[in-house]
Structure 1
Amino acid sequence: MTEPSRPPRSRRRFLRHPATIAGLVVVVIVAGFAAYWFQPWKLFTSTTVDEAPPAATAGQVPGPQVTATGAAVTEVVAQGDLVSQEHPTSGTVQLLRLPDDSLVVRIENLDTSDGPDLKVWLTDAAVSPGLDDAGVFDDGRWVDLGSLKGNRGSANYPVPSDADVDGLDSVSIWCDRFNVSFGAAELNPRT
């Protein structure tokens, strides 16, 4: 009968050596931190949302409108198309004024990458496609509208009632973890 083979004595000592154990602990900690920070699984995930507009939208006619019964409807104040910056991004953005005079940013047909700590920001930064200006959105004024609800589809983002939106004429899909915009849209007033 053959005795099972055992690793050489020097390898067994190496595996039990305190420096080897400490090194393995450090590798596990660094790998765990890197996984938390970079969230590499987000390269393979996607979340789709399909929220209805917040109220009956006024359509293509600018300015306050009322229905045949005299009820106010939602006004499209400004709109724009998303352009790619750090990641390929497409969709449209509208700034809506609801009948109660509150504001909502609506993103429709969004298609971008998933990522860690993505936010929707209303900002004063100029928008240009590409990587050159993907990090400028936190240089000036901005209002955080909350976490991105999904990297695909349509969703509404209420603007806080106490926010001063004068001069905030762009929207960014902002990665707060890495301080970069995945994509952004310049909001052009409806006239």
Structure 2
Amino acid sequence: MKLLTRRTLVPASLVLAVVAAFGLYFFQPWKLFTNTTVDESLPTVPSIAAPEQPGTASQSPAAAPEELARGSFISHGHPTSGTARTFRLADGGQILRFEDLKTDEGPDVRVYLSMRSAQEAEDGLGVGAIQLAHLKGNLGNQNYVVPVGTDLSGFKSAVIWCKRFSVSFGAADLVPVQGQ
């Protein structure tokens, strides 16, 4: 009795190919060997000065963003380090900034603000977490726009979260800076 006949080998090969394609798409194992570096500068917004003469407006140098909170990343499911900082820009906009970020690449990795502490975020984002964007890169300096009208004072941490596998790569407590 021949077990490997053409009648069984062809369908088995097709099933194996479909399973392999799904596994490659879902797990994206090549990301274990790649890095994406992002190096964005801290945004500044020019402020509009009072007109020197009627009918004219002049721009003054860019106003420095106001730092609201900061914290260092702790590792959860993947080694993660760097600093998370929140800023209010001169135009009233707010950003979350990662500096010197180092973490792993992964499939479907996103940036969240959570009302849970960095340590608690390892077990989940919690109620009220907001997604800012997909992680731009696993290395470097990067900025994420916070939605207009968001009160940052209620958020305790910035979290790098793999949505596909519900795993926190790492998180940083957002501690208000002196004078805030």
1:79 aligned to 2:70?
Answer: yes
Based on CA coordinates, which of the two structures has the bigger radius of gyration? Answer: 1
Q: Look up the SS of the partner of 2:117 in the other structure.
A: coil
Q: Look up the SS of the partner of 2:18 in the other structure.
A: helix
Q: Which runs of 5+ in 1 are unaligned?
A: 1-9, 57-68
**What is the rounded CA distance, in whole Å, between the counterparts of 1:133 and 1:96 in structure 2?**
22
Q: Among 9, 14, 21, which residue is 2:10 paired with? A: 21
CA deviations over 1:76-107 (Å, ceiling 9, x no partner) = 00000001000000000100000011110000
1:175 — aligned with what? 162
1:7-156 residue pairs with structure 2 within 5 A? 14-17=4-7, 19-55=8-44, 72-128=63-119, 134-137=122-125, 139-156=126-143
Residue 126 of structure 1 deviates from its aligned partner by 1.5
CA deviations over 1:34-70 (Å, ceiling 9, x no partner) = 11101000000100011011128xxxxxxxxxxxx79
Q: Look up the SS of the partner of 1:41 in the other structure.
A: helix
- Fraction of identical pairs, as percent: 43
Task: Please list every run of at least 4 consecutive aligned residues from structure 1 whose deviation after the TM superposition is greater than 3 angstroms.
Answer: 69-72, 162-166
Q: Look up the SS of the partner of 2:154 in the other structure.
A: coil
**What is the rounded CA distance, in whole Å, between the counterparts of 2:114 and 2:155 in structure 1?**
5
Q: Which runs of 5+ in 2 are unaligned?
A: 46-59
Q: Look up the SS of the partner of 2:152 in the other structure.
A: coil
Size of the alignment, in residue pairs? 164
Q: Look up the SS of the partner of 1:173 in the other structure.
A: strand
**What is the rounded CA distance, in whole Å, between the counterparts of 1:71 and 1:33 in structure 2?**
49
TM-score w.r.t. length of structure 1: 0.79
**What is the rounded CA distance, in whole Å, between the counterparts of 1:30 and 1:159 in structure 2?**
39
CA deviations over 1:82-137 (Å, ceiling 9, x no partner) = 01000000000100000011110000000000000111101111112xxx852311
Residue 140 of structure 1 deviates from its aligned partner by 1.6
TM-score w.r.t. length of structure 2: 0.84
* Aligned amino acid, residue 32 of structure 2: L
Contact in 2 for aligned 1:55/1:74 (Cα 8 Å): yes
Q: Over aligned residues, Cα RMSD in angstroms?
A: 2.0
Contact in 2 for aligned 1:77/1:94 (Cα 8 Å): yes
* Aligned amino acid, residue 134 of structure 1: E
* Aligned amino acid, residue 166 of structure 2: N
